[in-house]
C-alpha cells in the first residue's frame, strides 16, 4: 500500500470505486424493491404510487418507509384510511413486514446489468478496486451477494446500511469501503449509482460521483421497455434525469455502468492537475 501524507494535493490515479447494487450492478430498472413497498402499504389500506415509492430509493429501507410516510400525498391517504397521519410505530410495523418480504424477492431480481462484467474487467485492468454500498440490509445482502457471485460478480468489498451508524446520504458506507479496501484519500475514489441519494453519499464522502440515467431507479423501466420507448421520449426522460443528477452535484452522468470505464482517464487527468471533487 502506497503511503500518502496530506501535506499537498493528491495527484495520483483513481484507486477504487464504490458501486451501488440494484439499478447499477443488478436488477435493471431497480424493480425488486418497488413491489415490496407497494405491497406493504397496501396491507395497511394505503395505495401508494410508484412515484411515491421511487422518490426515496437508495436510502436504508426503514428510512425509505419513514420518508414515504412524511410525503404529503401519502400522509393524506393514510389519514383517510386510519383517521390520523402515520407515526413512528407505523414505520416500525411496516419495516418489520418489509424485511422478510424484501429478502424473498431479491433473488428474483439479481440478474446482472448488461455490461457490468466487462466494466469490472476494465476497472481491474486499471488496478482499480471495487467496493459497494446499498440501502439493503445485512439479511438482504446475504441473499444478493451469493446470487450475484453465481453470475460472475464478486466485488472486493460489500458494505450495507446496517454495517454503519446510518445509511445514505451519510458517507459512512463509503468510508467503510475505504477502510476495507485500504484506500485513501477519498478523492482517489469514485461513487457510481442510480439515485439522488447515491450522488449525495459520494459528495458527502468527498468522492467523485457518476450518476446512471437509464439502468436504474430514476427511469425505472426493465431493459426491454426502455429499449421499446420512442427515441425522442427516451431522450427527453434521460435528459431530465441528467439535470436532476447535476443539480444534486454529480460530476458525470452516463446511461449505465458500461460507460464508466472511459471516464477514469478524465478523472485521472483532473487528479493529476491537483483538482479535488469538492466545489
Report residue 103's pLDDT band, with 50, 70 and 90 as the boundaries.
confident
Q: Are residues 81 and 103 in the same domain?
A: yes
Q: Are residues 22 and 42 in the same domain?
A: no
What's the CA gap between 201 and 55, in Å, rounded? 16
Report residue 102's pLDDT band, with 50, 70 and 90 as the boundaries.
confident
Q: Are residues 223 and 267 in the same domain?
A: yes
Q: Are residues 102 and 236 in the same domain?
A: no
Q: Does 6 map to a domain?
A: no
Characterize 59-77 residue by residue with b for buried, 16 or more Cβ atoms within 10 angstroms of its Cβ, and e for exposed: bbbbbbbbbbbebeebbeb
Nearest Cα neighbor of 153 from 118, 195, 200 is 118
Q: What angle do CA 193, 38, 214 make, to 5 degrees?
A: 30
Q: Does 258 map to a domain?
A: yes
Q: Are residues 173 and 120 in the same domain?
A: yes
Q: Are residues 74 and 25 in the same domain?
A: no
Q: Does 73 map to a domain?
A: yes
Q: Are residues 95 and 196 in the same domain?
A: no
The per-residue pLDDT for range 179-235, each reduced to its tens digit, is 999 999 999 999 999 999 999 999 999 999 999 999 999 999 999 999 999 999 999
**Which is catalytic among the residues 2, 8, 20, 121?**
20
Q: Does 40 map to a domain?
A: yes
Q: Are residues 141 and 161 in the same domain?
A: yes
Q: Are residues 166 and 268 in the same domain?
A: yes
The total of other beta-carbon atoms located within 10 Å of residue 264's CB is 18
2 a catalytic residue: no
61 a catalytic residue: yes
- What's the confidence (pLDDT) of residue 1? 62
**Which is catalytic among the residues 27, 61, 90, 194?**
61
Q: Does 278 map to a domain?
A: no
- What's the confidence (pLDDT) of residue 35? 82
What's the CA gap between 219 and 222, in Å, rounded? 9
Q: Are residues 177 and 248 in the same domain?
A: yes
The pTM of the full predicted model, rounded to 2 decimals, is 0.88
Domain extent at residue 73:
33-108
Amino acid at each position: 500500500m502506497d503511503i500518502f501524507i496530506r501535506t499537498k494535493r493528491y495527484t495520483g490515479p483513481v484507486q477504487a470505486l464504490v458501486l451501488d447494487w440494484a439499478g447499477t450492478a443488478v436488477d435493471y430498472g431497480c424493480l425488486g424493491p418497488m413491489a415490496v413497498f407497494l405491497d406493504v402499504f397496501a396491507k395497511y389500506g394505503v395505495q401508494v404510487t410508484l412515484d411515491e415509492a421511487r422518490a426515496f430509493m437508495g436510502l436504508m429501507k426503514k428510512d425509505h418507509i419513514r420518508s414515504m410516510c412524511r410525503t404529503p400525498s401519502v400522509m393524506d391517504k393514510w389519514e383517510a384510511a386510519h383517521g390520523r397521519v402515520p407515526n413512528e410505530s407505523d414505520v416500525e410495523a411496516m419495516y418489520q413486514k418489509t424485511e422478510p418480504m424484501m429478502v424473498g424477492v431479491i433473488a428474483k431480481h439479481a440478474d446482472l446489468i448488461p455490461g457490468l462484467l466487462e466494466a469490472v474487467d476494465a476497472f481491474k485492468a486499471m488496478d482499480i478496486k471495487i467496493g459497494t454500498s446499498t440501502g439493503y440490509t445485512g439479511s438482504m445482502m446475504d441473499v444478493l451477494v451469493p446470487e450475484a457471485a453465481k453470475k460472475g460478480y464478486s466485488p472486493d468489498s460489500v458494505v450495507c446500511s446496517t454495517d454503519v451508524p446510518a445509511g445514505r446520504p451519510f458517507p459512512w458506507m463509503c468510508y467503510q469501503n475505504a477502510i476495507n479496501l485500504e484506500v485513501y484519500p477519498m478523492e482517489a475514489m469514485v461513487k457510481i449509482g442510480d439515485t439522488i441519494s447515491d450522488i449525495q453519499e459520494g459528495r458527502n464522502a468527498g468522492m467523485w460521483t457518476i450518476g446512471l440515467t437509464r439502468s436504474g431507479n430514476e427511469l425505472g423501466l426493465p431493459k426491454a421497455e426502455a429499449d421499446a420507448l420512442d427515441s425522442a421520449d427516451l431522450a427527453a426522460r434521460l435528459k431530465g434525469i441528467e439535470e436532476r443528477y447535476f443539480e444534486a452535484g454529480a460530476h458525470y452522468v452516463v446511461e449505465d455502468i458500461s460507460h464508466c470505464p472511459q471516464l477514469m482517464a478524465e478523472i485521472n487527468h483532473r487528479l493529476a492537475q491537483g483538482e479535488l471533487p469538492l466545489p
